Chain A
Amino acid sequence: MTDNLTESIQEQVKDAYYSSRALKIMGNSTKEFLGHPVSGEPLEISGHTGIVNYEPTELVITARSGTTLNQIEQALNENNQMLAFEPPHFGEDATLGGAIACGLSGPGRARFGAVRDFVLGTRIINGQGDLLHFGGEVMKNVAGYDLSRLQAGAMGTLGVLLEVSLKVLPKEDYTRTQVLDVSKQSAFEKMCQCTELPASATAYVDDRLYIRLSGSENTINSISTKIGGELLDNDAAFWLNVREHQHPFFRESNSLWRLSVPPATPPIDLPGQWLIEWNGAQRWLNTDANAKHIRTIIEPLGGHATCYHSPLHSKEDEHEIFHPLPEPLMKLHHRLKYAMDPNGIFNPGKMYPGL
């Protein structure tokens, strides 16, 4: 059944390649709001489901890309394991393929690493309809160029993900969250110290600093006492809301921007409301500032800015969703796109014009 599906996906890609027809790769469309709209013939992946291999003691899970994150997380949960990068779902039936293609990581990112750090192998179809397998199910593998991690965050523009192998981690024994009422300045200092603590997530919003600690119960309790603040009840719900953008902060009506900066960057001089995560490295901004102004401020800080939502979205703004790349780097992107997808059939323009 699934093999037939692989074949039919492959056939559709080959047809599109020969006729240079654009394809819009579709999972369950939970993250369609990210990036530029794509017009093209739908290439449905959501039926390509199932966990192919999961051996808890090997710390690896392999699943077809249409498998929902919920299914994967449930299987891991039964063995007390997790996807440590905590992928945002943004919808009930978010798929594995979508999570990898969008390259998004949740609250645990600063401690455990990003999506791409957990990608061990992929099966993909390239722009000529070839079925290819890169990486594998082992932790260490340096044979050939790393075309698996390259897929993470490429938004489907470099290939159709069919199957992904991910490294998984055991869940920590015990988790609790402390909340501290602190000034912005003091919050930054404390977040900076968090890399030395068993802190598995941090968030600063509405003058409150949330520190999630994970480890063995005794250790975490003694560290909590040192940190101070109050114990947060039902902290799992809080972190879920932050991850899924269900926290009240994300209900503002202005544009929502994601700023990625070196973690110790001092508070940034831009108007709006802030929610700061990842010990300072990921900063959400609700603002009416325009893209150009945001990027003029953020670039000298060594960071970049992505627009998530904009009520003002107009055609003129569309080229500004992702941070512009310097010309020599963009040239390399075009050449790489050509190497993987010579006729430019996969999600054209999803990230940047011509990619």
Chain B
Amino acid sequence: MSHPIEKHEAVSPGKKNELLKNLSVILPRHAILYLPEDLHVYECDGLSAYRQTPLLVVLPESTLQVQQVMKICKHLAIPVVARGAGTGLSGGALPLGNAVLLSLAKLSNIIEIDVANRTACVEPGVRNLAISEAAKPCGLYYAPDPSSQIACSIGGNVAENAGGVHCLKYGLTVNNILKLKMVTTDGDLITIGSNALDSPGYDLLALMTGSEGMLGIIVEITVKLLPIAESAQVLLASFNEIPQAGNAVAAIIGAGIIPAGLEMMDKLAIKAAEDFVHAGYPTDANAILLCELDGNSEEVSEKISEVENIMLEHGACDVRIAQNEQERELFWKGRKAAFPAVGRLAPDYYCMDGTIPRHRLSEVLQTIETLSREYGLPVANVFHAGDGNLHPLILYDANKPGELEKTEELGGKILEFCVEVGGTITGEHGVGIEKINQMCVQFTSTELQQFHAIKHAFDPDRLLNPGKAVPTLHRCAELGAMHVHNGELPFPELPRF
């Protein structure tokens, strides 16, 4: 299918040869891929609906090589798309036909675990879970746990500001990193942040986190580690009505309890998960809540019974507390397998990622249901209820002509509704190429111009991941996205036809 990347000029064979010649001076032979069969593997990331063969792929093995690649590409004015483990769900690492795909997979060393300061210094290709595994003997772990944590790399986590099920209590990637080493578009190496809790100057660490490979290439990350909690308990509550579950969530937070994880699933998601992993979920319920508390054992036991009472007061028809570690894992297994489980219900599924103020949940789910019926495409909902991050999963069949396009349109409408109720088009997956059009809905033309000015400060030649994350004003105008802000028509400076 045609992906939404804007057209660009092809690289001439002469220029490609020059690029290859220059790269082969600084990189070993096996670190440059250019044959069609080798490039094929890299044509998409976790968002496989969009595919594009890169100009070529490089796999540098050191920071110095990354710097040299950047210098060559800058000199030849060839764009660069950075890629980690390729698990991203928004097409942030989708290759461009005229760009080098820079894989950071071979920078995969854990450089240091500093137990006294509770930090880990790692290269970008290290897998998220590998950090926690390495820190475990010291009684420490790395908190952000995106569901792809077995495979996703920490560099990609920084690029997308990845979240997970524990965000409400422990924050996103941006709250859990201390220092970055970054190669600029000029090939310079700079250090942002420090091993102290703060650093002089502007908070570039916040700016770099979630910048989707648009501002620099991250080559080293120092993350915070936390002590593994003494105890964790999970509770499973079933509800006949979704609003009851929504109210229970508000009541838990209102009671001053910050759960380590608070997840909601709707009927379709419950049934799919139960059929798939037999977690003991009640398939007759319209909603379930999973609530996990962690910390000091005494405190956890005290609070879990408080949560149990709140659930019952808000109409839960059944509340079960996992009696042992096995049962706890089983409760979570259903939730963690929800995406693949839903995937069994249809040939394809499309995962959305909006965030909403929690008190608008019922309204948003009702709208999704109406849209789902209108488009004739079933939608299952999995919700990080604690932090308002909603993942509607749209079921479709890519082999049916026009169905993917219909799915994307439905997805777009869901995200636009998230913005309308005061939320955002992406909570943790990033904009990438997938949500580039919805950016025109969420931001005004002046806000987008400000983003472009920031991009220009780091990358004046637009060589880093061009066309992703921030749409051009032209694109927004062409889409005719009518973001009416303060009663003004968007992009009044551009002609309309």
Contact = CB atoms under 8 A, between A and B. Distances in A.
Size class of the contact patch on chain A: 35 or more
Contact of B457 (A141, A173, A306, A339): A339
Contacts of A351: 201
B271 interface: no
Contacts of A114: 197-198
Contact of B299 (A144, A192, A215): A215
B254 A304 contact: no
A352 B449 CA distance: 26
A319 B449 CA distance: 33
Contacts of B160: 142
B82 interface: no
A128 to B, nearest CB: 9
A114 B206 CA distance: 12
A146 B450 CA distance: 11
A55 B195 contact: no
A141 B192 CA distance: 22
B4 interface: no
Interface stretch (A15-23, A239-247, A267-275, A329-337): A329-337
Given A262-B196, A351-B201, 11 more contacts: A58-B357, A60-B357, A109-B197, A113-B175, A138-B389, A140-B163, A140-B424, A141-B426, A142-B431, A143-B426, A325-B201
Nearest to B214: A145
22 contacts: A81-B256, A136-B422, A136-B423, A137-B357, A140-B355, A140-B427, A141-B424, A144-B447, A145-B451, A146-B206, A146-B211, A170-B258, A171-B256, A198-B299, A216-B302, A219-B299, A263-B116, A326-B190, A330-B201, A332-B458, A333-B202, A340-B453
A329 B195 contact: no
A153 B202 contact: yes
Contact of B211 (A117, A145, A219, A262): A145
B233 interface: no
A255 B449 CA distance: 44
Contacts of B171: 113, 117
B24 interface: no
A133 to B, nearest CB: 7
B210 A339 contact: no
Given A138-B423, A142-B428, A132 B357 contact: no
Given A57-B253, A143-B442, A302-B194, A218 B298 contact: yes
Nearest to B225: A195
B473 interface: no
A135 B364 CA distance: 20
A160 B38 CA distance: 51
B456 interface: yes
Nearest to B247: A57
A134 B442 CA distance: 10
Given A136-B423, A138-B424, A144-B451, A149 B200 contact: no
Interface in A236-268: 260-264
A81 B254 CA distance: 9
Nearest to B175: A117
A149 B174 contact: yes
Nearest to B428: A140
Given A139-B168, A140-B389, A126 B450 contact: yes
Nearest to B207: A150
A38 to B, nearest CB: 17
Contact of B250 (A57, A196, A222, A324): A57
B342 to A, nearest CB: 21
B118 interface: yes
Interface string B267-298: 00000000000000000000000000001101
Interface string A138-167: 111111111101101110001000000000
Contacts, number: 249
Contacts of A110: 197
Interface string B362-376: 000000000000000
B320 interface: no
Contact of B174 (A146, A154, A302): A146
A216 B207 CA distance: 37
Size class of the contact patch on chain B: 35 or more
A281 B197 contact: yes
Contact of A144 (B168, B253, B254, B470): B470
Given A57-B358, A264-B116, A303-B194, A198 B296 contact: yes
Interface in B408-462: 422-431, 435, 439, 442-444, 446-447, 449-451, 453-458
B236 interface: no
A143 B424 contact: yes
A244 to B, nearest CB: 19
Contacts of A304: 194, 196, 199-200
Contacts of A103: 198, 203
Nearest to B435: A143
A30 to B, nearest CB: 21
B3 interface: no
A326 to B, nearest CB: 8
A150 B451 CA distance: 13
A210 interface: no
Contacts of B203: 103, 116, 149-150, 152-154
B172 A146 contact: no
B68 interface: no
Interface string B43-72: 000000000000000000000000000000
A323 interface: yes
Contact of B295 (A198, A330, A335): A198
Nearest to A153: B203
B150 interface: no
A202 interface: no
Contact of B298 (A117, A149, A216, A281): A216
A325 B253 contact: no
